[in-house]
Structure 1
Amino acid sequence: MDDRLRDAKRLADYVVIIAFDESQLRHGVSVGCIVQRFPQEDWPDVSLSPSLDVFSQPNGWILAAEPRTPSFFVNTLTDMIGARQFAYCLQVYEPCCGSADDVEGSSEVCEVSTNDNVLYKPKVIVILSRFSYFDLFRNCLNRIHLALLEDNGTAESMIATLISSVCLAPGLPAVPFTFASERLSVRAPSYPTVPVTADKIALFVHHLGSIYNLLLILCAVLTDHKLLMRSSSLSRLSDSCFALRCLLYPFDYP
Protein backbone atom coordinates (compact mmCIF):
# COMPACT_ATOMS: atom_id res chain seq x y z
CA MET A 1 0.00 0.00 0.00
CA ASP A 2 1.20 3.49 -0.82
CA ASP A 3 2.39 5.23 2.37
CA ARG A 4 0.40 8.27 1.34
CA LEU A 5 -2.84 6.29 1.51
CA ARG A 6 -2.19 5.52 5.17
CA ASP A 7 -2.31 9.26 5.84
CA ALA A 8 -5.59 9.72 3.96
CA LYS A 9 -8.34 11.61 5.79
CA ARG A 10 -12.05 11.77 5.15
CA LEU A 11 -13.22 14.95 3.46
CA ALA A 12 -15.71 15.34 6.32
CA ASP A 13 -15.76 13.44 9.61
CA TYR A 14 -19.28 14.25 10.77
CA VAL A 15 -22.45 15.95 9.64
CA VAL A 16 -24.71 16.99 12.51
CA ILE A 17 -28.11 18.68 12.68
CA ILE A 18 -28.74 20.58 15.93
CA ALA A 19 -32.25 21.83 16.69
CA PHE A 20 -33.83 24.17 19.22
CA ASP A 21 -35.09 22.11 22.19
CA GLU A 22 -38.61 23.44 22.81
CA SER A 23 -39.03 21.21 25.88
CA GLN A 24 -36.34 23.29 27.65
CA LEU A 25 -37.81 26.65 26.61
CA ARG A 26 -37.75 29.30 29.35
CA HIS A 27 -38.38 33.00 28.64
CA GLY A 28 -37.58 32.57 24.96
CA VAL A 29 -34.25 30.85 25.63
CA SER A 30 -33.43 27.16 25.39
CA VAL A 31 -30.58 24.81 24.52
CA GLY A 32 -29.63 22.93 21.40
CA CYS A 33 -30.04 19.20 20.97
CA ILE A 34 -28.60 16.90 18.32
CA VAL A 35 -31.50 15.47 16.33
CA GLN A 36 -29.43 13.79 13.61
CA ARG A 37 -25.79 12.86 13.29
CA PHE A 38 -23.88 11.02 10.60
CA PRO A 39 -22.37 8.57 11.33
CA GLN A 40 -24.28 7.37 14.39
CA GLU A 41 -21.11 6.23 16.20
CA ASP A 42 -17.81 8.04 16.68
CA TRP A 43 -14.92 7.30 14.36
CA PRO A 44 -11.98 5.63 16.15
CA ASP A 45 -9.55 8.36 15.04
CA VAL A 46 -11.76 11.44 15.56
CA SER A 47 -14.52 11.78 18.15
CA LEU A 48 -17.48 14.14 18.05
CA SER A 49 -17.15 17.15 20.35
CA PRO A 50 -19.54 16.87 23.34
CA SER A 51 -20.00 20.67 23.36
CA LEU A 52 -20.89 21.06 19.70
CA ASP A 53 -24.31 22.56 20.53
CA VAL A 54 -22.56 25.45 22.31
CA PHE A 55 -19.95 26.13 19.62
CA SER A 56 -22.54 25.96 16.84
CA GLN A 57 -24.69 28.74 18.32
CA PRO A 58 -22.39 31.43 19.80
CA ASN A 59 -25.28 33.90 20.24
CA GLY A 60 -27.29 31.41 22.29
CA TRP A 61 -30.39 29.41 21.47
CA ILE A 62 -32.86 32.30 21.47
CA LEU A 63 -36.18 32.72 19.68
CA ALA A 64 -36.49 35.46 17.07
CA ALA A 65 -39.53 37.60 16.28
CA GLU A 66 -38.91 37.47 12.53
CA PRO A 67 -37.36 34.92 10.18
CA ARG A 68 -33.69 35.58 9.51
CA THR A 69 -31.67 34.83 6.44
CA PRO A 70 -29.41 31.76 6.66
CA SER A 71 -25.92 32.58 7.90
CA PHE A 72 -22.66 30.67 7.46
CA PHE A 73 -19.74 30.74 9.87
CA VAL A 74 -16.84 28.56 10.96
CA ASN A 75 -15.56 27.60 14.39
CA THR A 76 -12.16 26.04 14.98
CA LEU A 77 -12.16 23.23 17.54
CA THR A 78 -8.91 22.10 19.15
CA ASP A 79 -8.55 19.01 21.34
CA MET A 80 -6.16 18.48 24.26
CA ILE A 81 -3.27 17.39 22.04
CA GLY A 82 -3.66 20.32 19.64
CA ALA A 83 -5.42 18.48 16.79
CA ARG A 84 -7.54 20.98 14.89
CA GLN A 85 -10.99 20.46 13.41
CA PHE A 86 -13.20 22.97 11.62
CA ALA A 87 -16.92 23.19 12.39
CA TYR A 88 -18.67 24.64 9.33
CA CYS A 89 -22.08 25.89 10.46
CA LEU A 90 -25.16 26.95 8.53
CA GLN A 91 -27.71 28.62 10.79
CA VAL A 92 -31.32 28.74 9.61
CA TYR A 93 -34.60 29.75 11.26
CA GLU A 94 -37.92 27.93 11.14
CA PRO A 95 -41.31 28.60 12.78
CA CYS A 96 -41.66 27.58 16.41
CA CYS A 97 -44.55 25.24 17.26
CA GLY A 98 -46.02 27.69 19.76
CA SER A 99 -46.91 31.34 19.20
CA ALA A 100 -45.53 34.27 21.16
CA ASP A 101 -48.55 34.14 23.45
CA ASP A 102 -47.62 30.59 24.42
CA VAL A 103 -44.04 31.45 25.36
CA GLU A 104 -43.65 32.77 28.88
CA GLY A 105 -41.66 36.00 28.95
CA SER A 106 -41.06 36.04 25.20
CA SER A 107 -41.42 39.83 25.10
CA GLU A 108 -38.42 40.11 27.42
CA VAL A 109 -36.21 38.37 24.88
CA CYS A 110 -37.41 39.72 21.55
CA GLU A 111 -39.96 42.15 20.22
CA VAL A 112 -42.87 40.30 18.67
CA SER A 113 -43.64 41.19 15.07
CA THR A 114 -46.84 43.13 14.54
CA ASN A 115 -47.65 41.21 11.35
CA ASP A 116 -48.15 37.87 13.08
CA ASN A 117 -47.61 36.25 16.42
CA VAL A 118 -45.18 33.58 15.25
CA LEU A 119 -41.74 33.11 16.76
CA TYR A 120 -38.83 31.52 14.93
CA LYS A 121 -36.31 29.08 16.33
CA PRO A 122 -32.74 28.51 15.13
CA LYS A 123 -31.44 25.27 13.65
CA VAL A 124 -27.84 24.59 12.73
CA ILE A 125 -26.40 22.16 10.19
CA VAL A 126 -22.75 21.40 10.95
CA ILE A 127 -20.03 19.77 8.87
CA LEU A 128 -16.93 18.78 10.85
CA SER A 129 -13.74 18.44 8.84
CA ARG A 130 -9.98 18.59 9.31
CA PHE A 131 -9.63 20.51 6.04
CA SER A 132 -9.94 24.30 5.73
CA TYR A 133 -12.17 24.39 2.64
CA PHE A 134 -14.48 27.26 3.57
CA ASP A 135 -16.08 27.84 0.16
CA LEU A 136 -16.52 24.15 -0.63
CA PHE A 137 -18.32 23.38 2.60
CA ARG A 138 -20.43 26.53 2.38
CA ASN A 139 -21.71 25.22 -0.96
CA CYS A 140 -22.25 21.73 0.49
CA LEU A 141 -24.23 23.08 3.44
CA ASN A 142 -26.48 25.12 1.17
CA ARG A 143 -27.19 22.04 -0.96
CA ILE A 144 -27.91 19.89 2.09
CA HIS A 145 -30.25 22.53 3.50
CA LEU A 146 -32.22 22.73 0.25
CA ALA A 147 -32.44 18.94 0.10
CA LEU A 148 -33.78 18.83 3.67
CA LEU A 149 -36.43 21.41 2.77
CA GLU A 150 -37.53 19.40 -0.24
CA ASP A 151 -37.52 16.21 1.88
CA ASN A 152 -36.85 14.03 -1.15
CA GLY A 153 -34.31 11.75 0.50
CA THR A 154 -31.28 13.10 -1.34
CA ALA A 155 -29.77 14.79 1.73
CA GLU A 156 -28.69 11.44 3.19
CA SER A 157 -26.88 10.40 0.02
CA MET A 158 -25.14 13.78 -0.16
CA ILE A 159 -23.99 13.42 3.45
CA ALA A 160 -22.79 9.86 2.81
CA THR A 161 -20.65 11.14 -0.05
CA LEU A 162 -18.90 13.64 2.22
CA ILE A 163 -18.15 11.30 5.11
CA SER A 164 -17.43 8.01 3.35
CA SER A 165 -16.78 8.40 -0.38
CA VAL A 166 -14.01 11.02 -0.51
CA CYS A 167 -10.64 10.55 1.20
CA LEU A 168 -7.72 12.91 0.68
CA ALA A 169 -3.98 12.63 1.29
CA PRO A 170 -1.07 14.98 0.52
CA GLY A 171 0.64 14.24 -2.77
CA LEU A 172 -2.26 12.36 -4.32
CA PRO A 173 -4.22 13.61 -7.36
CA ALA A 174 -7.48 15.51 -6.99
CA VAL A 175 -10.50 13.36 -6.17
CA PRO A 176 -13.59 13.96 -8.34
CA PHE A 177 -17.03 13.31 -6.89
CA THR A 178 -20.67 14.10 -7.60
CA PHE A 179 -22.58 16.18 -5.06
CA ALA A 180 -26.22 17.11 -5.69
CA SER A 181 -25.84 16.44 -9.43
CA GLU A 182 -22.83 18.80 -9.51
CA ARG A 183 -19.42 17.46 -10.45
CA LEU A 184 -16.77 18.63 -7.97
CA SER A 185 -13.09 17.96 -7.47
CA VAL A 186 -10.98 18.45 -4.36
CA ARG A 187 -7.35 17.86 -3.51
CA ALA A 188 -5.48 17.74 -0.23
CA PRO A 189 -2.82 20.43 0.27
CA SER A 190 0.66 19.23 -0.70
CA TYR A 191 1.98 20.57 2.59
CA PRO A 192 -0.65 20.16 5.36
CA THR A 193 1.04 22.60 7.73
CA VAL A 194 0.88 25.46 5.19
CA PRO A 195 -2.55 27.14 5.47
CA VAL A 196 -4.83 27.45 2.45
CA THR A 197 -5.80 31.12 2.56
CA ALA A 198 -7.96 31.73 -0.55
CA ASP A 199 -9.16 35.36 -0.22
CA LYS A 200 -9.28 35.45 3.58
CA ILE A 201 -6.09 37.46 4.11
CA ALA A 202 -6.96 40.02 1.43
CA LEU A 203 -10.38 40.63 2.98
CA PHE A 204 -8.89 40.85 6.47
CA VAL A 205 -6.38 43.50 5.41
CA HIS A 206 -9.15 45.39 3.59
CA HIS A 207 -11.30 45.49 6.73
CA LEU A 208 -8.37 46.69 8.85
CA GLY A 209 -7.90 49.66 6.54
CA SER A 210 -4.13 50.12 6.71
CA ILE A 211 -0.81 48.29 6.95
CA TYR A 212 -0.19 50.06 10.26
CA ASN A 213 -3.26 48.44 11.81
CA LEU A 214 -2.18 45.05 10.48
CA LEU A 215 1.34 45.39 11.93
CA LEU A 216 -0.12 46.59 15.22
CA ILE A 217 -2.26 43.46 15.51
CA LEU A 218 0.56 41.11 14.51
CA CYS A 219 2.91 42.68 17.04
CA ALA A 220 0.26 42.38 19.75
CA VAL A 221 -0.25 38.68 19.08
CA LEU A 222 3.46 37.89 18.83
CA THR A 223 4.14 39.66 22.13
CA ASP A 224 1.45 37.56 23.83
CA HIS A 225 -1.14 40.30 24.25
CA LYS A 226 -4.79 39.36 24.35
CA LEU A 227 -6.74 40.31 21.24
CA LEU A 228 -10.51 40.76 21.15
CA MET A 229 -12.33 40.78 17.82
CA ARG A 230 -15.90 41.98 17.53
CA SER A 231 -18.20 41.87 14.52
CA SER A 232 -21.92 41.77 13.81
CA SER A 233 -21.16 39.13 11.15
CA LEU A 234 -20.20 35.67 12.42
CA SER A 235 -18.91 34.78 8.96
CA ARG A 236 -16.63 37.81 8.81
CA LEU A 237 -15.42 37.13 12.34
CA SER A 238 -14.48 33.52 11.60
CA ASP A 239 -12.79 34.52 8.33
CA SER A 240 -10.76 37.20 10.11
CA CYS A 241 -9.61 34.86 12.88
CA PHE A 242 -8.54 32.29 10.30
CA ALA A 243 -6.69 34.94 8.28
CA LEU A 244 -4.82 36.13 11.36
CA ARG A 245 -3.70 32.59 12.17
CA CYS A 246 -2.51 32.18 8.57
CA LEU A 247 -0.51 35.40 8.77
CA LEU A 248 1.33 34.08 11.81
CA TYR A 249 2.66 31.07 9.89
CA PRO A 250 5.00 29.30 10.64
CA PHE A 251 4.10 30.11 14.24
CA ASP A 252 1.16 28.07 15.46
CA TYR A 253 -0.98 28.39 18.56
CA PRO A 254 -2.92 25.17 19.33
Structure 2
Amino acid sequence: MARFADYFIVVGYDQDKSGSEEGCGKIIQRFPKKDWEGTAFPQGVEMFCQPGGWRLSRERRAPTFFTVVLTDIESDRHYCSCLTFFEAEVNLQGSKAIDGDGDEDEEEDGMVQPAQVFAPKSLILVSRLDFPEIFRVRGPHLIKG
Protein backbone atom coordinates (compact mmCIF):
# COMPACT_ATOMS: atom_id res chain seq x y z
CA MET A 1 0.00 0.00 0.00
CA ALA A 2 1.34 3.43 -0.95
CA ARG A 3 1.97 6.19 1.58
CA PHE A 4 -0.08 9.36 1.34
CA ALA A 5 3.16 11.37 1.03
CA ASP A 6 6.64 9.94 0.53
CA TYR A 7 8.68 13.07 1.26
CA PHE A 8 8.18 16.53 2.70
CA ILE A 9 10.84 19.01 1.55
CA VAL A 10 11.58 22.61 2.51
CA VAL A 11 13.55 24.53 -0.13
CA GLY A 12 14.80 28.06 0.46
CA TYR A 13 16.85 30.78 -1.18
CA ASP A 14 20.59 30.01 -1.06
CA GLN A 15 22.32 33.12 0.33
CA ASP A 16 25.74 31.52 -0.34
CA LYS A 17 25.11 31.50 -4.10
CA SER A 18 23.39 34.89 -4.42
CA GLY A 19 26.16 36.77 -6.23
CA SER A 20 24.22 37.35 -9.44
CA GLU A 21 20.74 38.63 -10.18
CA GLU A 22 19.47 35.05 -10.51
CA GLY A 23 19.85 33.13 -7.24
CA CYS A 24 19.69 29.43 -6.46
CA GLY A 25 17.64 27.29 -4.16
CA LYS A 26 18.83 24.73 -1.63
CA ILE A 27 17.16 22.01 0.36
CA ILE A 28 16.87 23.23 3.95
CA GLN A 29 15.06 20.21 5.39
CA ARG A 30 13.61 16.94 4.23
CA PHE A 31 11.54 14.29 5.92
CA PRO A 32 12.37 11.50 6.23
CA LYS A 33 16.11 12.12 6.17
CA LYS A 34 16.81 8.75 4.56
CA ASP A 35 15.33 7.53 1.29
CA TRP A 36 12.45 5.09 1.46
CA GLU A 37 13.30 1.66 0.09
CA GLY A 38 11.81 1.46 -3.38
CA THR A 39 11.04 5.21 -3.57
CA ALA A 40 13.98 7.36 -4.59
CA PHE A 41 14.27 10.96 -3.39
CA PRO A 42 13.51 13.32 -6.34
CA GLN A 43 16.81 14.80 -7.47
CA GLY A 44 16.87 18.43 -8.58
CA VAL A 45 13.71 19.32 -6.68
CA GLU A 46 15.21 22.74 -5.81
CA MET A 47 15.28 23.63 -9.52
CA PHE A 48 11.67 22.88 -10.47
CA CYS A 49 9.95 24.47 -7.44
CA GLN A 50 10.73 28.02 -8.69
CA PRO A 51 9.84 27.94 -12.41
CA GLY A 52 10.29 31.73 -12.61
CA GLY A 53 13.74 31.55 -11.02
CA TRP A 54 15.04 32.23 -7.52
CA ARG A 55 14.70 36.00 -7.20
CA LEU A 56 14.56 38.29 -4.21
CA SER A 57 11.78 40.89 -4.11
CA ARG A 58 11.25 44.19 -2.29
CA GLU A 59 7.57 43.35 -1.88
CA ARG A 60 5.95 40.33 -0.30
CA ARG A 61 4.29 38.35 -3.05
CA ALA A 62 1.17 36.24 -2.74
CA PRO A 63 1.67 32.51 -2.11
CA THR A 64 1.40 30.20 -5.11
CA PHE A 65 0.56 26.51 -5.46
CA PHE A 66 1.18 24.13 -8.34
CA THR A 67 1.73 20.44 -8.98
CA VAL A 68 4.49 18.92 -11.10
CA VAL A 69 4.85 15.32 -12.19
CA LEU A 70 8.42 14.01 -12.16
CA THR A 71 9.31 10.72 -13.81
CA ASP A 72 12.36 8.85 -12.54
CA ILE A 73 14.72 6.56 -14.44
CA GLU A 74 12.46 3.56 -13.74
CA SER A 75 9.45 5.41 -15.24
CA ASP A 76 7.80 5.81 -11.83
CA ARG A 77 5.80 9.01 -11.42
CA HIS A 78 6.22 11.32 -8.43
CA TYR A 79 3.54 13.96 -7.92
CA CYS A 80 5.10 17.03 -6.32
CA SER A 81 2.76 19.60 -4.82
CA CYS A 82 4.57 22.88 -4.23
CA LEU A 83 3.43 25.76 -2.02
CA THR A 84 5.67 28.82 -2.35
CA PHE A 85 5.57 31.90 -0.14
CA PHE A 86 7.90 34.83 0.53
CA GLU A 87 9.47 35.58 3.92
CA ALA A 88 11.29 38.68 5.04
CA GLU A 89 15.07 38.63 5.20
CA VAL A 90 17.73 41.25 5.69
CA ASN A 91 19.68 41.60 2.48
CA LEU A 92 23.24 40.60 3.32
CA GLN A 93 24.63 42.67 0.44
CA GLY A 94 23.80 46.01 2.05
CA SER A 95 21.08 48.09 0.51
CA LYS A 96 20.94 46.40 -2.87
CA ALA A 97 17.72 44.44 -3.30
CA ILE A 98 17.08 42.62 -6.53
CA ASP A 99 13.62 43.31 -7.87
CA GLY A 100 14.21 44.24 -11.45
CA ASP A 101 14.67 48.02 -11.22
CA GLY A 102 18.27 47.97 -9.93
CA ASP A 103 17.76 50.98 -7.63
CA GLU A 104 19.64 51.22 -4.36
CA ASP A 105 18.08 52.69 -1.22
CA GLU A 106 20.05 55.22 0.81
CA GLU A 107 18.96 57.24 3.81
CA GLU A 108 19.02 61.01 3.46
CA ASP A 109 21.99 61.30 5.83
CA GLY A 110 24.17 59.34 3.38
CA MET A 111 24.30 56.18 5.51
CA VAL A 112 23.55 53.00 3.62
CA GLN A 113 20.93 50.96 5.47
CA PRO A 114 20.39 47.22 5.00
CA ALA A 115 17.32 46.67 2.85
CA GLN A 116 14.53 44.36 3.83
CA VAL A 117 13.88 41.90 1.05
CA PHE A 118 11.61 38.93 0.66
CA ALA A 119 13.02 35.56 -0.33
CA PRO A 120 11.01 32.67 -1.77
CA LYS A 121 10.60 29.46 0.22
CA SER A 122 8.84 26.33 -1.01
CA LEU A 123 7.12 23.52 0.87
CA ILE A 124 6.89 20.38 -1.25
CA LEU A 125 4.94 17.17 -0.70
CA VAL A 126 6.07 14.28 -2.87
CA SER A 127 3.69 11.37 -3.42
CA ARG A 128 3.20 8.51 -5.81
CA LEU A 129 -0.55 9.13 -5.55
CA ASP A 130 -2.21 11.39 -8.11
CA PHE A 131 -4.36 13.56 -5.80
CA PRO A 132 -3.23 17.17 -6.37
CA GLU A 133 -6.57 18.63 -5.20
CA ILE A 134 -6.24 16.91 -1.81
CA PHE A 135 -2.76 18.36 -1.41
CA ARG A 136 -4.03 21.80 -2.48
CA VAL A 137 -6.89 21.82 0.03
CA ARG A 138 -5.50 19.72 2.89
CA GLY A 139 -1.75 20.36 2.52
CA PRO A 140 -1.65 23.68 4.40
CA HIS A 141 -3.77 22.15 7.20
CA LEU A 142 -1.42 19.17 7.47
CA ILE A 143 1.54 21.52 7.81
CA LYS A 144 -0.12 23.75 10.43
CA GLY A 145 -1.00 20.74 12.56
Contact 2:95 2:104 in 1 (8 A): no
Change (3 A) 1:128 1:54: same
Counterpart check, 1:16 vs 2:37: no
Q: Which residue of 1 aligns with 2:100?
A: 110
Q: Which residue of 2 aligns with 1:125?
A: 123
Number of residue pairs matched by the alignment: 136
What residue in structure 2 maps to residue 77 of structure 1?
70
Q: What pairs with 1:1-254 in structure 2 (closer than 5 Å)?
A: 8-98=1-91, 101-103=94-96, 106=97, 109-111=99-101, 117-144=115-142, 147=144, 180=145
Hey, what's the Cα distance between the residues in 2 that align with 1:140 and 1:20?
25
Which ranges of 4 or more aligned residues in structure 1 deviate by more than 6 Å?
none
- The 3 A distance-change label for structure 1 pair 80 and 99 is closer
Give the C-alpha shift of residue 113 in structure 1.
10
* 1:118 CA displacement: 2.1
Q: CA deviation at 1:12?
A: 0.6
Whole-Å Cα distance in 1 between the matches of residues 63 and 55 of structure 2?
15
For normalisation by structure 1, the TM-score amounts to 0.49
Which structure shows the higher strand fraction?
A: 2
Unaligned runs of 5+ in 2: 106-114
Task: Note the alpha carbon deviations across 1:205-239, whole angstroms, 9 max, x for none.
Answer: xxxxxxxxxxxxxxxxxxxxxxxxxxxxxxxxxxx
Give the percent of matched residue pairs that are identical in Structure 1 and Structure 2: 27
Query: 2: CA distance between counterparts of 1:143 and 1:97?
Result: 29
Cα deviation code 1:170-225 (max 9, x no counterpart): xxxxxxxxxx4xxxxxxxxxxxxxxxxxxxxxxxxxxxxxxxxxxxxxxxxxxxxx
Which structure has the larger Rg? 1
Using the TM superposition, give the Cα deviation of residue 100 of structure 1 relative to its aligned residue in structure 2, in angstroms. Answer: 7.2
In structure 2, give the amino acid aligned to 1:130. R
Kindly indicate which of the two structures has a greater share of residues assigned to helix. Answer: 1
1:99/1:119 contact within 8 Å kept:
no
Matched residues in 1 for 2:40 and 2:120: separation? 25
Please report how far the alpha carbon of residue 132 of structure 1 lies from its aligned counterpart in structure 2 after TM superposition: 1.5
Q: Which amino acid aligns with 1:30?
A: G
Structure 1 counterpart of 2:110: none
Q: How much has 1:65 moved relative to structure 2?
A: 2.0
SS at match of 2:91: strand
Whole-angstrom CA distance in 1 between matches of 2:89 and 2:79: 29
Q: Distance in 2 between matches of 1:110 and 1:88?
A: 28
RMSD between superposed Cα atoms in Å: 2.4
Measured in 2, the distance between the counterparts of 1:20 and 1:43 equals 26
Q: Which has the higher contact order (CA 8 A, sep 6+)?
A: 2
2:21 & 2:139 partners in 1: Cα distance? Answer: 27
**What secondary structure is seen at the aligned counterpart in 2 of 1:30?**
coil
Report if the CA contact (8 A) 1:100-1:118 is conserved. no
